[in-house]
Amino acid sequence: MSAAVAWARRRASAADAWRRLRRDRLAMTALIVLVAFVVMALIAPLVSDRADFDAINTGGNPTNSSPSGQFVLGTDGLGRSMALQVMWGARISLLVGFSATVLMIVLGVVVGLAAGFFGGWIDAVLMRITDWFMVIPFLPLAIVLASVLERGVGTIVLVIGITSWPSTARLIRSQVLSIRERLYVDRARALGAGKGHIIGRHILPNVTPLILANTTLAVPIAILTETTLSFLGLGDPTQVSWGGLLERAGTTAVKAGYWWEYLPPGVGIVLVVLAFTIIGRAVEEVLDPRLRAR
């Protein structure tokens, strides 16, 4: 019975949050931009074939040609259509961005929950490790990890997840520390509730909004890191992401003035990252009454 009440209350507050978010015009614009990019990534296989990029099929195309009626965003040095490559690149960039974020959040939440809930030496050890990972500069760390492991999309996801969880862990820990001391948790404990019950029923539902806001703000980090790693040549050589496109263009295209080879992938990255940042901040503001007052 009380669980049903709690869920009804949570649903109501989620609906309220969504209503407030809907009023934020900037955030809604960002959401539309984001949906557009996701749709673009999803329909890429419908409008083209990956074989379109094979040398055997691009032989007749002009190389390094500027945007024209036939090639909306021009072609690269091998005569491949930039427009199609940007569409396909969106798939990898978004896929890596989302999966790395999930890994990062899961690691951060597990460490943060364990440290905050159990306290004592578990907390001390976990926070020591978190501090280490906070201080070590994360791009060089990601670089050494990626260069030792096999190249591939999975490696990139793993590397980003491993290097960027600490701030989430700290955030979740401090939230758990405050929730743990609340009266209803004491009450549940007094009534004989086990640890699993307290975590699952009381702590987790209360940190969920925080996790949500943190997730939206973590995607940009993941996408930007993927871009940089791919640009440095640590990406999957068989798949092209936006960062991979920038790597291929390199300074050669820049110096030759082939702007259509490096501007579109970059603009894609900026728009997606900006959209996530705007939505993340809006979500944070809706969920945190203290920020709303400002």
Partner 1 sequence: MRATFILRKLAGAVSTLAFVVVFNFFLFRVVNKNPVDSMFRGRNLTASQKAELTRKFHLDGSKWDQFVGYVRQLLRGDLGLSFKGNRPVVDVIAEALWPTILLVGFSTLLAMLGIGLGYRAGWRRGSRFDTTSTSLSMLTYSMPEFWIGMVLLGIFAAKLGWFPVGGLEDPGSTATGFSKLLDQFHHMLLPAIVLAIAYVGEYMIVARSAMIETLREDYLQLARAKGMRDDDVRRKHAVPNARLPVVSLSAINFGFVVSGAIAVESIFSWPGIGQATYIAIRGPDLPVLQGLFLLISAAVIVANLIADLLYGRLDPRVVGR
Q: Based on CB atoms, which residue is closest to partner 1, 8 or 26?
A: 26
37-56 positions binding partner 1, by CB under 8 A:
none
3-state SS track over 203-253? HHHHHHHHHHHHHHHHHHHHHHHHHHHHHCCCCCCCCCCHHHHHHHHHHHH
As a whole number of angstroms, the distance between CA 231 and CA 224 comes to 10
132, 78 Cβ separation under 8 angstroms: no
Candidate residues 141, 177, 185, 193; the one interacting with partner 1 per rule CB under 8 A: 141
- Tell the smallest beta-carbon distance from residue 127 to partner 1 (Å): 11
As a whole number of angstroms, the distance between CA 294 and CA 291 comes to 5
Candidate residues 139, 182, 194, 205; the one interacting with partner 1 per rule CB under 8 A: 139
- Tell the smallest beta-carbon distance from residue 4 to partner 1 (Å): 41
| 132 lies in the binding site for partner 1 (CB under 8 A) | yes
212-241 positions binding partner 1, by CB under 8 A:
220, 224, 227-228, 231-234
Candidate residues 273, 279, 282, 287; the one interacting with partner 1 per rule CB under 8 A: 273
As a whole number of angstroms, the distance between CA 255 and CA 257 comes to 5
Q: Which stretch binds partner 1 (CB under 8 A): 16-24, 61-69, 171-179, 270-278?
A: 270-278
Backbone angles phi, psi at 75, to 5 degrees: -130, 165
- Tell the smallest beta-carbon distance from residue 139 to partner 1 (Å): 4
Candidate residues 140, 154, 194, 237; the one interacting with partner 1 per rule CB under 8 A: 140
250, 276 Cβ separation under 8 angstroms: no
If we measure between CA atoms, which residue out of 105, 103, 66 comes closest to residue 83? Answer: 66
91-130 positions binding partner 1, by CB under 8 A:
128
Q: Which stretch binds partner 1 (CB under 8 A): 86-94, 175-183, 205-213, 260-268?
A: 260-268
| 263 lies in the binding site for partner 1 (CB under 8 A) | yes
Using alpha carbons, list the distances in angstroms from residue 256 to 76, 157, 216, 268.
Answer: 12, 33, 38, 22
Using alpha carbons, list the distances in angstroms from residue 291 to 152, 179, 274, 285, 294.
Answer: 40, 20, 20, 5, 5
Residues within the interface to partner 1 (CB under 8 A): 128, 131-132, 135-141, 143-145, 147-149, 220, 224, 227-228, 231-234, 243, 246, 249, 251, 254-257, 259, 262-263, 266, 269-270, 273-274, 277-278, 294
